[in-house]
Structures are given as structure tokens and as C-alpha cells.
């Protein structure tokens, strides 16, 4: 395999690991009660049914229109599949670019939430997070209230995917 195919495979594996294995951001909600929320792909999967059944209520809580919740949910479904799409980029440059857009977007959004640009408590508890980890998953490396290793792996997987689209494939 050529360099572009190998980096596309590595980018897909990084994105899948960052999405489902590592925590992106961990925080206690509310701050004085030890109820820890982990934001990662498993939290998105947990919150997807709520996003479709209670879109209006969730929209009011987050301060956005209810129909925007459906749009966000569809983008998050696309994001959950982005690692696999990147791996299919072994055959097509377009697939690796399409699969790399959402991990970069989510990674940048995580960096914005760490700077209090977005209301992170509401977004993590209502959209990205879960307070019921599955055994040891998600893996939390860094302390609470900062972007964890999964957020940086998302950016790395997305960036590596974009780079692999421009490397030789034959």
C-alpha cells in the first residue's frame, strides 16, 4: 500500500478510538455534586433517542430552535460513522475527506467549549455526554474540566485524514 492509503487507515483507526474509547471532556455536573459526565461517542449514542423524541424541550434547554436539534442529530450520526468513512478512504480520496470533516469540527467545538464560548454543562449533559460509563470506557487520562486526550485524538485523526487525501495512492 502507498502512503496515502496507509495514512487513511491510521486516520480512521485514530478517529474510531477517539470516538468510542477515549473521553473528550469530563466534568462534574453540578460542580458540587460528584455526578461525572463523560463526553464521547457513547454519550452521543445514549442521547440520540432523546434528541429525536424530545427535540423541542432539548432545544429550549440549549437555547436553540427545536428543528436545529434534528439537524444536529443527523450531523452527529454522520460523525459516529466518520471513522469508518475514513477507512473506506483507502479506495477513494473523497471518502477520506468527507470522513475527516466532522472529527475536525467536533475537535474544534471541544476547544471552544473549554474556553466557555458555549455553555458546556448543557451541551455535555444533553448532547455529548453520559454519566453511565461502560466498564472502563471512556478512558479518562487528564483531570476534569479540560479537554481530554480523546479531543486531541479527534483532531489528529481528522487532520491526518485530510493530509492522506493529498498523498500518493498508487
**pLDDT tens for residues 97-108?**
999 999 998 888
Residues in Cβ contact with 110 at an 8 Å cutoff, skipping those fewer than 6 apart: 24, 25, 39, 147, 151, 154
pLDDT in tens, 4-54: 889 999 999 999 999 888 888 777 766 666 677 777 888 888 888 888 898
Q: For residue 110, is it within any domain?
A: yes
Q: For residue 159, is it within any domain?
A: yes
Helix (H, G, I), strand (E, B), or coil: what is residue 95?
helix
Q: The pTM is what?
A: 0.82
Tell which residue, 150, 154, 157, has the closest CA to residue 26: 150
Q: For residue 170, is it within any domain?
A: no
Domain region containing 18:
3-165
> How many structural domains compose the chain?
1
What phi and psi, each to the nearest 5 degrees, are found at residue 7? -70, -30
Amino acid at each position: 500500500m502507498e502512503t496515502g492509503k496507509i495514512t487513511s487507515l491510521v486516520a480512521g483507526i485514530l478517529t474510531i478510538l477517539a470516538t468510542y474509547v477515549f473521553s473528550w471532556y469530563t466534568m462534574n455536573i453540578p460542580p458540587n455534586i460528584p455526578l461525572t459526565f463523560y463526553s464521547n461517542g457513547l454519550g452521543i449514542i445514549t442521547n440520540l433517542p432523546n434528541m429525536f423524541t424530545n427535540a423541542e424541550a432539548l432545544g429550549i434547554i440549549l437555547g436553540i430552535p427545536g428543528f436545529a436539534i434534528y439537524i444536529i442529530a443527523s450531523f452527529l450520526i454522520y460523525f459516529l460513522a466518520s471513522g469508518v468513512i475514513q477507512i473506506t478512504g483507502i479506495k477513494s480520496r473523497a471518502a477520506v475527506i468527507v470522513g475527516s470533516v466532522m472529527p475536525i469540527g467536533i475537535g474544534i467545538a471541544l476547544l471552544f467549549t473549554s474556553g466557555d464560548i458555549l455553555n458546556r454543562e448543557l451541551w455535555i449533559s444533553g448532547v455529548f455526554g453520559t454519566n453511565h460509563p461502560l466498564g472502563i470506557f471512556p478512558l479518562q487520562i487528564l483531570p476534569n474540566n479540560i479537554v481530554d486526550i480523546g479531543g486531541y485524538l479527534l483532531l489528529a485523526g481528522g487532520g491526518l485524514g485530510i493530509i492522506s487525501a493529498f498523498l500518493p495512492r498508487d
